[in-house]
Amino acid sequence: MRLTALAVPALLAASFVAAVPAIAAGDADAGKKVFTRCMICHEATTDTNKIGPSLHGVIGRKAGSLPSFESKYSDAMKKAGADGLVWDETNIAAYIKAPKVKVPGNKMPFAGLQNETDIANVIAYLEAVAKQ
């Protein structure tokens, strides 16, 4: 098989997507309980910012782009957004698991959640409260 310059990036992207595990469907009620760990710094049910930005409606938002928190984002988070990072389920899962790996240099002191079920549940909770 002869690979063209256009085929190589497409093949690499396809192999990367295949290697990313699917986010399991979560339980919003269980996610609300897990989110209590986040509530010292984040709000999810309103647009109120705390130490960290409001996570209400975060899914689909470009990283570092909440106008009411704009001056408080780290340069790293602003750059991640400028470089195209959008908070979809996959990116949120990776960030919740290892914030300093997903966006090196960000200000969030939380080390991350290691339990995949907890991560899926938090994402389900964020999706549920965004619809309220």
Tens digits of per-residue pLDDT, 25-73? 899 999 999 999 999 999 999 999 999 999 999 999 999 999 999 999 9
pLDDT at 21 over 50: no
> Which of 106, 52, 97 minimizes the C-alpha distance to 78?
106
For the chain, domains (ranges, CATH) are: 27-130 (1.10.760.10)
Q: How many CB atoms lie within 10 A of CB 12?
A: 10
pLDDT of 93: 97
pLDDT at 1 over 90: no
Report whether 63 contacts 77 (CB < 8 A).
yes
Report whether 62 contacts 56 (CB < 8 A).
no
pLDDT of 24: 62
Residue located via tokens 């209400």: 56
Q: How confident is the model at residue 83 (pLDDT cuts 50, 70, 90)?
A: very high
Report whether 52 contacts 42 (CB < 8 A).
yes
